[in-house]
Chain A
């Protein structure tokens, strides 16, 4: 076919002459099947024709025109020089998104049409012009079977990526392979330092070092038959990222850039000053405390400070990438440099990245090919104050009677009584702006490979990969003193503190594999045998100092008081060695089988338990190639059925859990030693078994294409840290867990994920000027714990803001991280209810309630309090009445992308949604708790129950946290369903004839809007909550996380 194609060019030396020439011909596909309905146009004219049922066309070419253009859905557009011919037969090849496209399958490539496993791909085109700094964020909604949740809207924050549900109690994040370099998706040794607050996200995304503009394609290996080749590292799926490389021909210079604005889309309706003052008065009466004099007449008060407006801002974002690429004489190159600067929509946050990439490939000899790539990046993350129970939380609870700034521009603070009682929390803006908290990360990753061809069929691939991370985390708490003008300072610090953590993480691997490819007759065989070894070493120096007498400006350890310095040095390493084998056999392009096996030996286990074997097998049958399908070939042009089975493993636990470590701690005696962990010498591989059946189809000449997969994924002997109760191992107290004995890691139980997923791509309209494509992606999984090896349940607890409550309970038969607690019966409104409660006391706080109108009585219940359901009907409400309240996992997730193009304009609208699932709005324990003075509350909370407001379902105020009304109950659960207008892009491609004046091959300008609107019933800031520090038992627990901003950018793609 290529020869045929080339011959047209060779023959086209003579120009067409005269007034209009009649040309005819036949259009067919690569296999000679004629194509009806193909549009044939004369280039740069309005003349066009369409092929008839036999694929034939007739067209009259006006004088002076020299080219015909053939276009058809699912086929590459082809331009043909007419020359002197009058009959032009053309064959069109399928477009690159379909069968002939190459898919990276791990240690090799395969044509999409030949794939036996469940693999989805995303091309550069699908993710371009989306203003997201990180790759994992870009594939959200693009691939079926992948659930991606942004854990935070904070620039540079990590993302939860789950392929086909939650498979493990450890990290369920997939393995990323960037040009051969493996990057584990779980949080690495690199961490942000804590700044305060109870529960903070400290993990960072390992993928932020990569510039999305450098990406050529992303292949997602979903089922185990595909990932088994990665053995233990592929248990949670594998995402293979391939970066761009130079193409043969003239060199190209490209520029991609955008500039835009991000803003917070939603604000909570908190009380204004008048409402707040009314509430404070009511609470004071209720708690038996005198009212504040300044709130004597609330009607004269103004609106007060809106603390949300004070911490949120409109923030700029910009990104620029310049790349140079080309190829000649067997050598190709791609060189790029990028810059990204994203300010946070919350004060004090910023993310900045510089990076460069060099990709180089050279055919040195006909038997030897060499190549390599290097990616270098440096990023800086600034954090104002941690997010969970941090800055957003503080701002929401800040009293509206406190100002942000005093008249002289200094930070204001809450009022202080003459006695020294501070009537409010710290100034959130001061916290965000004065604290230095940043993470500087430098990363170099690269690989070098050589390919030796022994014979036409046999070759050896040798590769060395490296990924080197250096990071510097720094927190500086300056000296400060602030308060309202004329009042004593509310908050003062005379001793500045600095802590730094300089860490490194070095990873190298060495891979050797022999490849054999042979085709004879209808048989085709591809085989691979290989060996891989890698080592990961991490370490760092942690140091802190305080008392910086030289002031706040120069923040360096040496300037602190020398008697207060402190150092420690975390470090460790891990190695793995693997043997790999794979055979792919295909017969007659119809029947294919892939079989692979891998052995892994990991240093995370003790001798005798170190090696695991992970086989996989998959078969496919291309039904559409069978003779009996010939009749419907014109309708169903490709149908392929795939069935796969595979096992993968997981060794993703800390090192040396098979032994007991003794680690140093500081004491007044000097260094002391604590017992660090309970060991388990028998700890070994977690195994995931996955069965998959799928169908790929293409209908009506590619007008509709798609694939559908069903699967069952079972993890057994899964690795998890047995959550021992505190009475056996100690527990975190006052946020310190320094002396807890880490519970042992165990192989325990079984988790099942059953699900199905499909993606459908439809070319709805495909006329000359107007095109409309729709892509629908749908994923559904059911997550179920099949066994916990005798453990009754796993508890997930919220441990913050003075509440320490179990909120999730994972039991056999239920999903991971299921919410658990009491069910609200209703507000106690009548004396008959009180009489009932006097005879049937409820015990939700550990002490049976007593009916009493004294609201200071700790275990009292009275009118306006909550009555809980006696779910087991035993006449009392106690812990036995706690029941499963809801599943944080969605019923299904979906996305719809509509793509329109009209002449030089294109428009894409990408909607992303999630249906079902629950969120625990844990923030409401505080913002609707009505339990303490000097804290602002949701405006809706003012509508609490009183005898004169009998229809409210908000209980009356009750002093102190974790009271009868503030236990874990369905009161705090809300629907997590949402539909988000994730991205809308409008682009304009400058016509070629204009572009070439500027020496441009191509110029596109666009406007792209990200997260434009969210349709949801969720009352918090954002229904996409993710899992806290990637912990699956604390999924969808909203503690005041950083919400995802709305972003609008203007961008340019240009190529010279």
Chain B
């Protein structure tokens, strides 16, 4: 019996092994905290939500610091001593620069996520989802891809065009760059697709609409000096009536209201990034952390005052008599902002505030503490949308396109500084923008007037550097006009000042060493060139 008992136990054990040994399901372990390509994109709601992520996390690295380090510091709008960004102010960005990598990596992350959606959605989606819903999602993805490439081509020039990353992955070390002209062609193709397939009149939801694509097309054509198409697209947008200027087309609001979280996705917003303040690092708008003068404004420990307006920008506002936009863009010592630190009755910039030696601080994209924003603000993270494009841009594009059509410099030729227009359409839209800023209407305008206006309208919104790069013409390798403008800028700092209100400071007008022509484009990040040496060789035409 004793022996039998032993065998019974052991046979039972062995039978158990055989019984458990074969079940196939036991080895099926899909992720438990994520969907898969096979299980997602199954309903209309899922397809609609599939593009949400393209408006936030992928852009984080670009939005946080490097976007303004490039557009403001290189253009002479802002200055900083801070060692992380100082190289942008003096045109000494090397290929090992951490922030330069942030720009490249973040923008290509946008492209990678757009491509993933474009490549997976069509095959994964069932026929029960209406085709227009699918097409709209694809259109959004292509608009985002185009937007990222539009930044990349202006920053790096020739870049690799990627549509099918998995096909390139196996020999990534030989992927070439494609020439600037092909990149623009690629951008236009994407935007035309988006224009055709995106739903109209939905930009107020935060998702881009067909009109958003038209508007960006207008801007791209303008950069290409294709004034006819730029004008056509701008007028298409204007005539659609989807968008309106706050304080002009939308009454009861003002220029200042554009930069309040409560007014996210207002009627002026054409393309904007959609941040969530309380989702932790990487999902909110990180700009306030650097731009706010002190943590008394943010109340979250950040607020480093890393960037401050140059005297050059301050003088530009002063010369134009522009106080409305100046107040919304730049804080001056002693100035009061009731929307900041509301608990204390508003915030007043201290008289001695001069974090970068220019006795002024940045206001735009500084939206205040969690209490000021109903909780929509946190450490290095606010819920303030970032404008990629807003409607005022379309008005100024329209004006410039009209001028361009008449002046006709020709693609690749510098903007003619003597050309002027008094075309009624051009003047109408140009003056609408000035009107909101409380400035007198003009009766004739030059390219220089428009560029100046754009600078004051869009300062700290990531535009002025790109305007400078196109002054000498589309895809130009020389930049004499831009260099001459930069060399006259006062980018210097000043003494502290001692008298009451510290306003007796002395400016140090340090001569600006302007960039060389080659420095109008950045080098490819060293880590990328090491992975793919072809990135720093001559470009190869793209096979469309």
Q: Which residues of A are at the interface with B, using a C-beta cutoff of 8 A?
A: 288-290, 367-368, 417-422, 452, 454, 460, 462, 477, 479-480, 491-495, 497, 499, 512, 531, 533, 539, 544, 546-547, 561, 563-566, 568-575, 577, 601-604, 607, 610, 655-656, 659-676, 678, 722-736, 738-741, 743-744, 790-793, 795, 797, 799-806, 809, 845-848, 850, 854, 856-859, 879, 882, 931-933, 935, 959-964, 966-968
Contacts and interface: CB of A to CB of B under 8 A. Distances in A.
Contact of A575 (B29, B34, B513): B29
Contact of B113 (A422, A602, A674, A858): A674
B56 interface: yes
Contacts of B111: 727, 730
Most chain-A Cβ atoms within 10 A of its Cβ — which of B54, B300, B350? B300
A452 to B, nearest CB: 5
A590 B295 CA distance: 79
Nearest to B9: A452
Contacts of B286: 734
Contact of B172 (A566, A660, A728): A728
Nearest to B494: A419
B35 A731 contact: no
B530 A795 contact: yes
Interface residues of B, number: 150
Contacts of A847: 94-95, 518-519, 523
12 contacts: A493-B301, A572-B31, A610-B27, A660-B36, A668-B275, A722-B169, A728-B162, A733-B101, A744-B169, A856-B92, A879-B529, A932-B83
A730 B113 contact: yes
A491 B300 CA distance: 11
Contacts of A671: 49, 52
B493 A289 contact: yes
B108 A726 contact: yes
Interface string B391-406: 0000000000000000
Contacts of A964: 94
A665 B53 contact: yes
Contacts of B283: 665-667, 738
A736 B281 contact: yes
A160 B87 CA distance: 38
A152 B92 CA distance: 36
Given A462-B13, A546-B379, A571-B33, 16 more contacts: A419-B496, A494-B369, A512-B13, A533-B21, A575-B26, A610-B27, A659-B37, A663-B35, A668-B276, A669-B206, A673-B52, A726-B108, A727-B528, A792-B173, A857-B90, A932-B86
A675 B117 contact: yes
A610 to B, nearest CB: 6
Given A572-B33, A603-B29, A736-B60, A563 B375 contact: yes
B87 A858 contact: yes
B112 A741 contact: yes
A237 to B, nearest CB: 26
A661 B55 contact: no
Given A573-B32, A799-B98, A960-B83, A859 B278 contact: no
Contacts of A417: 354, 496
Contacts, number: 445
Interface in B159-192: 159-160, 162, 165-166, 168-173, 175
A669 B28 contact: no
B200 to A, nearest CB: 19
B92 A963 contact: yes
B98 A669 contact: no
Nearest to B57: A739
B87 A512 contact: no
B108 A495 contact: no
B29 A733 contact: no
Given A726-B108, A741-B113, A563 B374 contact: yes
A421 B80 CA distance: 10
Contacts of A800: 98
Nearest to A368: B6
A736 B38 contact: no
A667 B52 contact: yes
B524 interface: yes
B487 interface: no
Interface string B337-380: 00000000000001011111101000000000110001100110
A738 B112 CA distance: 13
Contacts of A744: 169
Contact of A724 (B38, B60, B172, B518): B172
Closest 4 CB pairs between A and B?
A858-B92, A733-B61, A846-B523, A493-B301
Contacts of B84: 802, 961
Contacts of A730: 58, 105-106, 108-113
Nearest to B171: A790
B50 A673 contact: yes
A603 B96 contact: no
Contacts of A575: 26-27, 29
B109 A726 contact: yes
Nearest to B52: A672
B61 A491 contact: no
A659 B120 CA distance: 12
Nearest to A935: B83
A577 B17 CA distance: 10
A495 B357 contact: no
Most chain-A Cβ atoms within 10 A of its Cβ — which of B52, B84, B105, B533? B105
B81 interface: yes
A495 B379 CA distance: 8
A846 B87 contact: no
B86 to A, nearest CB: 5
A668 B98 contact: no
Contact of A531 (B21, B27, B171): B21
B251 interface: no
Contact of B36 (A659, A725, A859, A959): A659
B96 A564 contact: no
Contact of B92 (A531, A656, A664, A859): A859
A419 B355 contact: yes
A673 B356 CA distance: 40
A967 B84 CA distance: 16
Contacts of B30: 656, 659
B197 interface: no
A102 to B, nearest CB: 26
B282 A962 contact: no
Contacts of B159: 727
A566 B278 contact: yes
A547 B17 contact: no
B98 A802 contact: yes
Most chain-B Cβ atoms within 10 A of its Cβ — which of A497, A799, A960? A960
Nearest to B276: A666
A725 B532 contact: yes
Nearest to A859: B92
Interface string B195-207: 0000000000011
Interface string B41-68: 0000000011111111110111011100
B430 interface: no
Contacts of A655: 29, 31
Contacts of B238: none
Contacts of B282: 736, 738
Contact of B513 (A678, A801, A809, A856): A856
B2 interface: yes
A418 B300 contact: no
Most chain-A Cβ atoms within 10 A of its Cβ — which of B26, B273, B279, B523? B279
Interface string B99-142: 11111111011111100110010000000000000000000000
A673 B29 contact: no
Interface in B434-448: none
A882 to B, nearest CB: 8
B17 A573 contact: no
B538 interface: no
Given A667-B274, A806-B530, A931-B83, A661 B34 contact: yes
B383 interface: yes
B516 interface: yes
